[in-house]
């Protein structure tokens, strides 16, 4: 590694594992005061503060020098930052479950608690994603542990061995089609990913689900069956956060087939990217998605920007709100898909809906 180069974001990466600690502190303040606003601060940060900071600070397209990449890949510090999310995640989750089981909550308070705890576990799936691509078995084991509270352990199987193989094709349940709303995509990807994972490796799926079963059995033994409705709803919200990111990452993009019928190799043009710095700090540079698909084992701190990759107008945090509102999403993104393909929408990944025929 070039000794003259140091990662300028070295300490800023700690923002990600600090997020569940922040939520845990909010939950403690709610216990102490009973004030509802403490339960909504996570949502304000995720849907408000981070997008505003992304807009103010803009993108950072700088890449580490090539001679520094090997050293970055071996950095113990950067690995520790990812692992640090997990104890914070479990602390916030267990505290939230205790509140749900023992305190008399109003409807608004219950909703705020779901958004807080489910938000932590939804972002935790990104931590599991980072760990799940790595070769050391202990990192893969931690990936499954991170997925346990959202009962989504089959993601480990489907993402690594299904999605990365079929990405940006009609056969991939996690690649959104042009003209498909998030609300239509959500049930399709959840059911399709589950079915695909089961076909790929039933044994691994069962192992992952058993880990979730053990977690929830322990929670029920501690807090009683009354905690289960909250536990399941927060898991569903966490799952929806993963899937809205999946929706954003490959919307409308398609790998073409050659004359021999074979699908072209996945390239930078098959993933939507963003270099908005704050979202990337919280998501371990997941937004540099093209490089991730080109090199799935590459660690987050070494992922690169490509000028040839299609770019989102905002970071993922801002794009979430657009995805929830289909008319706005189609207005912003369908024109970008059309521009990406030079107006030739026949080259895009298209669903059954034909509402996008006039985009140009």
Q: What angle do CA 160, 165, 167 make, to 5 degrees?
A: 100
Share of the chain above pLDDT 90, in %: 91
Q: Give the tens place of pLDDT for each residue, 79-112.
A: 999 999 999 999 999 999 999 999 999 999 999 9
Q: Please give the pLDDT value at position 357.
A: 39
Residue 216 predicted with pLDDT over 50: yes
Whether residue 23 contacts residue 116, with contact meaning beta carbons closer than 8 Å, is answered with: yes
89 burial level (CB within 10 Å; 0-12, 13-18, 19+): buried
Q: Give the tens place of pLDDT for each residue, 115-162.
A: 999 999 999 999 999 999 998 999 999 999 999 999 999 999 999 999
Q: Give the tens place of pLDDT for each residue, 297-356.
A: 999 999 999 988 999 999 999 999 999 999 999 999 999 999 999 999 999 998 543 343
Whether residue 347 contacts residue 256, with contact meaning beta carbons closer than 8 Å, is answered with: yes
> d(Cα 319, Cα 332) in Å, to the nearest integer?
10
> d(Cα 116, Cα 114) in Å, to the nearest integer?
5
> d(Cα 203, Cα 135) in Å, to the nearest integer?
19
* Reported confidence tier of residue 4, pLDDT bands at 50, 70, 90: low
> d(Cα 2, Cα 171) in Å, to the nearest integer?
43
């Amino acid at each position: 590694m070039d000794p003259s180069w140091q990662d300028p974001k070295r300490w800023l990466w700690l923002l990600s594992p600090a997020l569940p600690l922040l939520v845990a502190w909010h939950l403690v303040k709610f216990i102490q005061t009973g004030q509802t606003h403490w339960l909504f601060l996570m949502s304000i940060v995720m849907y408000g503060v981070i997008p505003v900071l992304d807009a103010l600070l803009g993108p950072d397209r700088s890449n580490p020098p090539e001679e520094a990449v090997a050293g970055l890949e071996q950095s113990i510090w950067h690995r520790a930052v990812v692992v640090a999310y997990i104890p914070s995640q479990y602390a916030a989750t267990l505290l939230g479950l205790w509140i749900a089981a023992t305190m008399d909550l109003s409807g608004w308070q219950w909703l705020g608690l779901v958004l807080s705890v489910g938000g932590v576990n939804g972002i935790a799936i990104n931590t599991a994603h980072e760990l799940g691509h790595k070769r050391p078995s202990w990192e893969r084991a931690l990936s499954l542990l991170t997925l346990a509270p959202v009962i989504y352990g089959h993601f480990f199987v489907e993402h690594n061995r299904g999605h990365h193989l079929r990405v940006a094709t009609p056969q991939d349940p996690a690649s959104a089609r042009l003209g498909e709303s998030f609300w239509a995509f959500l049930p399709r990807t959840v059911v399709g990913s589950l079915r695909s994972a089961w076909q790929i490796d039933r044994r691994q799926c069962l192992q992952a689900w058993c880990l979730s079963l053990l977690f929830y059995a322990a929670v029920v033994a501690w807090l009683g069956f009354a905690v289960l409705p909250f536990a399941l709803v927060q898991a569903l919200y966490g799952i929806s956060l993963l899937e809205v990111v999946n929706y954003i990452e490959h919307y409308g993009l398609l790998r073409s087939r050659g004359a021999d019928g074979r699908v072209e190799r996945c390239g930078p043009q098959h993933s939507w990217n963003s270099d908005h710095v704050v979202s990337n700090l919280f998501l371990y540079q997941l937004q540099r998605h093209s490089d991730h698909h080109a090199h799935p084992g590459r660690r987050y701190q070494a992922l690169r920007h490509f000028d040839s990759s299609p770019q989102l107008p905002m970071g993922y945090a801002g794009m979430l709100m657009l995805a929830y509102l289909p008319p706005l999403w189609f207005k912003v993104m369908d024109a970008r898909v059309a521009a990406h393909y030079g107006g030739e929408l026949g080259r895009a990944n298209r669903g059954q809906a034909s509402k996008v025929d006039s985009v140009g």
